[in-house]
Structure 1
Amino acid sequence: MGVGAENGTSSGTAAAPSGEPAVQGGAEWYQQPLGTCADVGAEDPPSASVPPPPRLTPAQAFDALYAYCAPTLVQQTYLLTGQRRLAREAVERAFQLAWHRWPEVAVDRDPAGWVRAAAHDYALSPWRRLHPCTFQRREPPPTDPADRALLTALLELPPPYRRTLLLYDGVGLDLPDTAAETEASTPAAAGRLLYARETVTARLPQPVAPDDLNRLLAALPSDVRPGPARPVDLRARADLHARRWIHAAIAFTTLLLTTTALTLHTAPDHYEPPVPPGAPVQGVPPRAAPGPLSKTEQKLRAKLRSEAAAGPERLHPEAD
């Protein structure tokens, strides 16, 4: 399956359950199974004698979407990154996110495009450049000189130009859809596409028309396949990841409430003015040391010593 094989997927009729989900027996069921564009176009008009297609559970619809889109998405992501391990990781993380948001993805007009955008965003995220695994191992380039030159030219393009070229010439989207998926205006997407085409074709060893880039892009990653992860494993990882986030949110909320309660308990409940700092008093004479007693003071001391220790009940003034 080449990169261009997702052309039918992007139309929204090939790899997505159509129609609103119906509830039966307490669970969601979907009216139309996933298929290919050829199958959809070859179907006869529905008649009363033909039984309706089997209804799929959310897990079955997700598994069918993964089986149909995963190989193509891995090949596309490899063209964006040049690393097989990162391509598989990006596709697996995109499907985990799709299962986590499956009620939203299932009713989307293009579920395959939703997963494709998530995989491309993860693979081209700026923080991926800071990941240590990105610099630990460099994968060998393709053996064919033309394929090696094409992949090198793609990887030297800025990420927005690389993604625009892949979506238009590789996937087969039209220009407005390419601009919408790359979050750019249509004139900006057209300018990126022309610059990317000119740059890539100039780096190839043989002259190639821009219309032939679709064939070259489809043949380049033909040996890249998805990893051994099964859809049931991806769904289990997505559920585990969601539970961990819920537990982390509960723990953080508990910690925040505990800290708030402790702060309210230990915080003062009234205003206490600060004690002003002391200041020296000016103009007060220094305290002198006591000198010898005068005759009057000696007489008073003798009188106090001669009185009872408890003193009289009441003191009366006496004249000298």
Structure 2
Amino acid sequence: MAKSTTPENGAEVSAQPEEGSRSKVSRVRRYVPGIVFALLVIGLVTGISSGTLCSVGYESIAAVCPLGALESLFGAGTFVARAVIILAVAAAAVLLVGKAFCSWVCPIPPLDRFLSGKKRREADKAARIEAAHHVSGRLAACAGCAGCGEKKPGETPLASSDGAAKRRFAKVDGRHVVLGGSLVSAAICGFPVFCLICPVGLTFATAIALYRLVGFNEPTLDLIVFPLIIVAELTLLRKWCHRFCPISALMGLVANFNKATRPKIDPDLCLRKDGTPCTVCAAACPEFIDPAGDLGDRALAECTRCGQCAAACPADAIRFTKKGLTRGNR
């Protein structure tokens, strides 16, 4: 049960939101990656030639993933019109919906949750709560400073719907190192090297190998090697999506300039409007973001539009569109 306080008492509101408290959109979102994965695999095994997330399309019309397109440019060492067009379309999509691919389409986050044991899930939950405590400290330090947009002295920082809070850019981290290594290796070897170990591609390759075993009795080492690589990446390289994924890094570079569909705060509803240091949304965010004041461990540019902050907000103050995406829509 989530503990809450009223603005009048001035106490901190930072308890963990209730388990299972999600908006309709947030609940649907949990099933979409599996549905997309299943439809693409069905298309492959039935001969529809729909491709995979690494190269989706129909028959001869296909678009490789943005990272693969960028790697092909570096590998070819020359201008490739098709790759440039793919990158332009992908950049436009990220400018519109940010990193929504990570929570709405990519099969890796659900697979990572499946491979996580109880101890790891509890550790992740504790890490989110600890990150929310960091937000509390930043709220206290930021109160009264002159660096938070239009915030007046003495007010708690609040990211209003018109973006009044100071915009933060995503930090350079291990993902960008992997991204750089992917491009350098592609330039040296002449082909997209990272695609050989990309967990997204290996997930589809494993499904295809399993189908060939069951449907045609064709055993192959792929059915052993590919899952082992995936498990190693997601268990030994903890927090793959946050620390190592070059696709996330590439989208994050563009998402820094995204303005549409970011979490928007209704200043009349948010408990911070009068100084209450509420951090429920920050504790609920799997990306360690503070949507209300952009004071989290990671910048708001990293938002994947999963909707968990809106579902957890005790004041129904968070929305992503004009119609809103709040717990009240459950």
Kindly name which structure, 1 or 2, has the bigger radius of gyration based on alpha carbons. 1
TM bucket normalised to smaller: under 0.3
Structure with greater proportional helix content: 1
